[in-house]
Amino acid sequence: MAHTAVGRLDDIIAQLEKLQKDAQEIFDAHVDELRCNTPCASFGVLKTRAIAAPAGSTLNYVAALKMLREKFAAKR
C-alpha cells in the first residue's frame, strides 16, 4: 500500500508543482500590467492587494503532500 501511495503522491506533486508554476506566471504577468497604472506600489504589495488578499488563505498542497509522501516512504 505504501509503495503505491508514494508513487501516486509523486505524480500528484509533480502535476501540482507545474500548475502552481503556471499560475504564478499568470499572476505575475497580471501584477506587472497593474504596475503600469500604479507605478508607486511595489510588486509585492500590489500582488498582495490584487491577488493574495482577495483570494484568501489556502493550504500549500504541494508542501502538505510532500510531508505525507515522506511519511509513507518512511514506512517502506
pLDDT, tens digit, 9 for 90 and up, residues 15-59: 999 999 999 999 999 999 999 988 788 999 998 888 888 888 777
Q: How many domains does the chain have?
A: 1
Q: Which residue has the cell 497580471?
A: 30
- Mean pLDDT in residue range 50-73: 84
pTM for this one? 0.73
Domain that holds residue 39: 2-74
Give the pLDDT band (50/70/90) at residue 71: confident
Cβ-contact 72, 2 below 8 angstroms: yes
In terms of Cβ atoms closer than 10 Å to its own Cβ (0-12, 13-18, 19+), residue 47 is: buried
